[in-house]
Amino acid sequence: MIKPHGSEVLNPLYVADDELRTKLQGEAENLPSIVISSAAAANAVMLGSGYFNPLTGFMGLQDALSIAENLHTTDDLFWPVPILNVVEDGSAIQPGTRIALKDPNVEGNPIIAVQTVEKVELATPEQMELMTTKIFGTTDEAHPGVTAFNSVGNVLISGPIEVLNFSYFATDFPATFRTAVDIRASIANNGWSKVVAFQTRNPMHRAHEELVRIAMEREGADGAVIHMLLGKLKAGDIPADVRDASIRKMVELYFPNKTVEITGYGFDMLYAGPREAVLHAIFRQNMGATHLIVGRDHAGVGDYYGSFDAQAIFHNEVPDDALEIKIFEADHTAFSTKLGKVIMMREAPEGHEPKDFVFLSGTKVREMLTAGEALPEEFARPEVAKILMDHYQSAD
């Protein structure tokens, strides 16, 4: 199986031993505590799950700046986005102490992890701006990732963590949430050697379905892992439970049995375009995938990134030896009325014009579903469209 990023074996930070975890939980109850941000809690879940291997905890300021500038830590580990615990006020936190990190996303703010504090550092406005610019390619506060990154403070608390639980992800999505450890075990149990990963924060329409099929066929993959984001999104995005139901129905009806694993991970969307695409590649390698589909506007939002910037970064900024996972570069995919099937548009035979493809904007899709209008079967499987329609009409 493909090796994890940066190490020979996976190093999840979740305390899996029940006795040790109970003991740590008791210790944590008596430690100084802080309620961390949603982003930091999601980082803790990813660290606990093994997705952020080989990291041992939250990064300090120098690593954050180094990653922002040149995609490497100060110890020369290739990494695209700083993994941080940022707070507004760190005056009560002392280096060398242990603190309990409380979950902002679960009622009662239970302790999600214990951190051994190495440094408490204040990032200057100039340093925050540099990181924002490099990570997101913009400082525009209308960008949801920029707003989230700059709204939690500028005090970085670094140091290793021990993770006690997986927040609300394991309880709210028990059939879908999986750690990198879990997915590696599933891949091994399935006997798969080549595995395609598909990232999604949206429901999967016919174009997405066919893209997974195309990638599997061309890469000679034994199976695919549909890996959906279960964390916080921007306003207007489809809730995770609705996406989950629609994807499960699509796989059940339109893929051969035992060729696709439906899974999810606990992370808040960054909308960081190219940088986030590279992060996606790293944690898909950590979960055992050999290929990641990177398509048009991967991890993007609005018009902040070029349509294929998330592919270009792998050619222009990622060193050849940085990752073992391979990228399947996908074009925009749509149903050709001339051919009667979904194709990648760059592969359309001569003579195809825009009118020969079935296109629906996101706005048009939402309008039709809200109005109870059936989506064209060329665009969405009817069983998937019904799940989405029921959601929009119940929310109206």
Q: Which of 117, 132, 167 is the last residue of a domain?
A: 167
Among 11, 109, 190, 202, the active-site one is 202
Instruction: Select from 127, 142, 167 the last residue of a domain.
Output: 167
Same domain? For 152 and 189 the reply is no
153 in a structural domain: yes
Residues 90 and 197 in one domain: no
Domain tally, the chain: 2
The enclosing domain of 76 has a CATH number of 3.10.400.10
Note the pLDDT tens digit of each residue in 84-114. Answer: 999 999 999 999 999 999 999 999 999 999 9
Assess if residue 5 is contained within a domain: no
Q: Are 102 and 239 in contact (CB under 8 A)?
A: no
214 and 85 fall within a common domain: no
Is 79 part of a structural domain of the chain? yes
13 contact partners, CB below 8 Å, separation of at least 6: 47, 48, 50, 56, 57, 113, 160, 161, 162, 163
Residue 333 lies in a domain: yes
Assign residue 190 the CATH number of its domain.
Answer: 3.40.50.620
Angle value at C-alpha 79, between 82 and 320, nearest 5 degrees: 160
Question: The domain containing residue 67 runs over which residues?
Answer: 18-167
Q: Is 2 within a domain?
A: no
| Interatomic CA distance for residues 53 and 227, integer angstroms | 17
What is the greatest pairwise CA distance in the chain? 71
Q: Is the domain of 181 the same as that of 103?
A: no
363: alpha, beta or left? (left if phi > 0; alpha if psi -120 to 50): alpha
Q: Quick check: is 286 catalytic? A: no
Based on the fold, state whether residues 239 and 366 are members of the same structural domain.
Answer: yes
Cα–Cα distance measured from residue 281 to residue 44, given in angstroms and rounded to the nearest whole number: 19
* Domain assignment of residue 27, yes or no: yes
Please check whether residues 131 and 180 belong to one and the same domain: no
Active site residue 202: yes
Q: Which helix (H) or strand (E) holds 357?
A: strand 357-358
Please report, in tens digits, the pLDDT of each residue of the chain (396 residues total): 999 999 999 999 999 999 999 999 999 999 999 999 999 999 999 999 999 999 999 999 999 999 999 999 999 999 999 999 999 999 999 999 999 999 999 999 999 999 999 999 999 999 999 999 999 999 999 999 999 999 999 999 999 999 999 999 999 999 999 999 999 999 999 999 999 999 998 888 899 999 999 999 999 999 999 999 998 877 777 888 888 999 999 999 999 999 999 999 999 999 999 999 999 999 999 999 999 999 999 999 999 999 999 999 999 999 999 999 999 999 988 889 999 999 998 898 988 988 889 877 666 887 888 888 888 898 899 999 999 999 888 865
User: Do 95 and 227 fall within a single domain?
Assistant: no
Is residue 287 within 8 A of residue 251, CB to CB? The reply is no
Residue 338 maps to a domain: yes
CA distance 155 to 132: 15
- Tell me: do 207 and 332 sit in the same domain: yes
Same domain, 125 and 182: no
Q: Which of 142, 167, 192 is the last residue of a domain?
A: 167
Residue 142 shares a structural domain with residue 186: no
User: Is 365 in the same domain as 216?
Assistant: yes
Q: Which of 178, 184, 201, 206 is catalytic?
A: 201
Alpha helices for the chain (secondary structure H): 18-29, 38-49, 61-70, 125-136, 144-150, 169-172, 180-190, 206-219, 240-254, 274-286, 309-316, 362-370, 382-395
Collect all residues with Cβ–Cβ distance below 8 Å to 70 and sequence separation of at least 6: none
Structural domain includes residue 4:
no
Clarify whether residues 181 and 243 are in a common domain. Answer: yes
